[in-house]
């Protein structure tokens, strides 16, 4: 069953804690993306990666970090420097021009 898998579905962060959101795809796509979605808002780009071992900052990268050690995986770390992390996080991968999305991770602050 091919697709993009995000985990966990729900995540809670304590103050000062770093948390990592997982994104795995078995579609053999080169490009992957992380977006943040706030209520009533569109998607804002955090980081993207066009190829393994390479990634670029998007529009709201401050307080986030990523890695791309494998083609299939693009984890996002929300660091303690991100003061307002509560949001719905979406991962996507791209084939031709179309981006395909995972089911998302909802992050809340305890």
The site for another protein, by CB under 8 A, has a size of: 25
Taking the least distance from each CB to another protein, the nearer of 8 and 18 is 8
CA torsion 51-57-61-65 (nearest 10°) is 40
Least distance from C-beta 80 to another protein, angstroms? 27
Instruction: Please provide the DSSP assignment of 23-90 as one string.
Output: EEE-S--SEEEEEEE-TT--EEEEEEEEETTEEEE-TT-TTEEE--SBTTB--EEE-TT-S---EEEE
The mark string for 51-90 relative to another protein (x by CB under 8 A, - otherwise) is -----x--x------------------------------x
Query: Which residues of this chain interact with another protein, rule CB under 8 A?
Result: 4, 6, 31, 40-45, 48, 50, 56, 59, 90, 92, 94, 97-104, 106
């Amino acid at each position: 069953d091919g697709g993009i898998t995000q985990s966990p579905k729900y995540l809670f962060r304590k103050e000062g804690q770093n948390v990592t959101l997982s994104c795995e795809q078995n579609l053999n796509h080169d490009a992957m993306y992380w977006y943040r979605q706030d209520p009533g808002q569109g998607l804002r780009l955090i980081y993207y990666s066009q190829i393994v071992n390479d990634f670029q900052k998007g529009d709201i990268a401050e307080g986030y970090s990523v890695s791309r050690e494998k083609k299939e995986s693009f984890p996002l770390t929300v660091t303690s420097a991100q003061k307002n992390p509560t949001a719905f996080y979406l991962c996507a991968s791209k084939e031709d021009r179309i981006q395909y999305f995972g089911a998302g991770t909802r992050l809340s602050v305890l």
